[in-house]
Amino acid sequence: MSKAAKTVPFLLVLLSVLVSAQQRSIAPAARPQPVAKSAGFSAERLARIDAVLQRYVDENRMAGAVGLVLRDGRPVYERAVGWSDKEAGRKMTSDTIFRIASQSKALTSVAILQLVEEGRVALSNPVSDFIPAYAKTTVAVKGDNGMSTVPAIRAITIRDLLTHTAGISYGTDPLVAALYEAKGLGPAAGYGWYTADKDEPVCNTMERLATLPFVAQPGDAWVYGYNTDILGCVVERASGMTLDKYIESRITAPLGLKDTRFFLPPDQHDRLAAVYASAQDGRITRAPDGARGQGHYVDGPRRSFSGGAGLLSTARDYARFLEMIRLGGTLDGARILSPRSVALMTTNQIGTLMSKTGLGFGLGFETTDRYGASGMNSVRGFGWGGAYGSIYRVDPEERLVIVFMIQLMPSNTDIREKFPTLVYQALDEGRPPGSH
């Protein structure tokens, strides 16, 4: 065979490899039409999302974002738009890592429910069973002569913490802010919830919190605050493991979540999106270093594992975690929770304490109890978000998981509301609300 004849098959093979590689480099969402149609979505209407997200980037209202939608566990829409770091010239990618702040609460709540299933914790247990400093707590009361404190009328329970009905805030309330700041909490902790810069275990911080007055009596009101950070300490005390190791061994590793952790290895620094801040007009600037901006997730002390606000993740990782919840606690053969526990977590447990307009709160998730209370999310849907701007929605009726990741704090944007609505308007095949 001549040299030229031998070269032709080689070139054909090389061309085939290059074409195959090019096809693999295209994210599933870059070719959405057949997937979208088979999943009951209009590809043309999904494309509206692209235009809106790009407009927000072009108008300097966000640096970049990642949106991901699963139906029946399949990616129907996945886009990375704009910049992970504008100043460094890094584009947003589907595997960019985000600070997810209060989206951490869902994983810590799952950890508590696992321990409940194993008989190590009961929902009715007083928190003081695990953290004795909570045996006697106090509540701040405003009077004519300023603030005074009164004893809590009863012990705070695990259920109170899961439902945010313990009366525990983030300590930024004017009534107690100065007291919290003096103990390194509240105004001294970023916007109140930030602990990644603390050079102490989270249980030390939560024991100090117990010495401060709370802002409502247990069970009287829905008060958003350090509740899930306290639960993180309970996980450590009940399991005998640090929270990072527990979540890794019992949740993220079994689910194959490779990018969900509390602190980022230094060699992956470039995968972490930068934080931006939006002004009143919605235009963004780069957020400062420190607790109210970029944070200490790479170069911090790496000792405080905040169960309420400390995790990092990707859109794909977090969507996979939510898909496990949607499927009743299992995914790809990994059983994380029982279906009954998932039902408890995703059912309103507090009546109208949180809202009188159709929203409730379960054991770690906000619930939708009336259609329209949370956009187009169906009744029995659930979700939450994070201080850096990320949000998620799970819709069991429509078999949907919706994840939207940005890094914007403080956030003056309506894109968090618009993204789920843009997803739902593209749904061609779905059950009309109220039909059964």
> Which CATH number belongs to the domain containing residue 149 in this structure?
3.40.710.10
371 burial level (CB within 10 Å; 0-12, 13-18, 19+): middle
Domain match, 275 and 420 both: yes
Question: Within a domain: residue 6?
Answer: no
pLDDT at 37: 82
Contact 263, 300 (CB under 8 A): yes
Question: Within a domain: residue 39?
Answer: yes
Structure-block tokens of residue 217: 């009596």
Q: What is the mean pLDDT of residues 275-295?
A: 95
Domain match, 116 and 207 both: yes
Domain match, 277 and 226 both: no
Pairing mode, strands 74-85 and 64-71: antiparallel
Domain match, 58 and 128 both: no
In this predicted structure, the answer to whether residue 20 has a pLDDT above a threshold of 60 is no
Output the CA torsion 57→60→64→69 (10° steps): -50
Lowest mean pLDDT segment, chosen from 8-22, 182-196, 250-264, 267-281:
8-22
pLDDT at 365: 98
Domain match, 410 and 277 both: yes
Domain match, 116 and 216 both: yes
Domain of residue 237 covers: 107-243
Helix residue ranges per DSSP H, 183-310? 202-209, 227-239, 243-247, 253-255
Domain match, 86 and 191 both: no
pLDDT category at 433 given cuts 50, 70, 90 is low
Contact 123, 309 (CB under 8 A): no
397 burial level (CB within 10 Å; 0-12, 13-18, 19+): middle
Domain match, 40 and 147 both: no
| pLDDT tens digit sequence for 335-392 | 999 999 999 999 999 999 999 999 999 999 999 999 999 999 999 999 999 999 999 9
What average pLDDT does the structure give for the chain? 92
Question: How many structural domains does the chain have?
Answer: 2
Domain match, 124 and 227 both: yes
pTM for the whole thing? 0.91
Question: Within a domain: residue 228?
Answer: yes
In this predicted structure, the answer to whether residue 436 has a pLDDT above a threshold of 70 is no
pLDDT category at 18 given cuts 50, 70, 90 is very low
C-alpha span between 71 and 41 (Å, rounded): 10
Question: Within a domain: residue 337?
Answer: yes
| pLDDT tens digit sequence for 405-431 | 999 999 889 999 999 999 999 999 766
Contact 336, 255 (CB under 8 A): yes
C-alpha span between 292 and 286 (Å, rounded): 11
Domain match, 114 and 196 both: yes
Closest by alpha carbon to 360, among 222, 168, 161?
222
What percent of the chain shows pLDDT beyond 90? Answer: 87
| pLDDT tens digit sequence for 30-79 | 444 467 888 999 999 999 999 999 999 999 999 999 999 999 999 999 99
What are the φ and ψ backbone dihedral angles of 76, each rounded to 5 degrees? -100, -35
Question: Within a domain: residue 303?
Answer: no
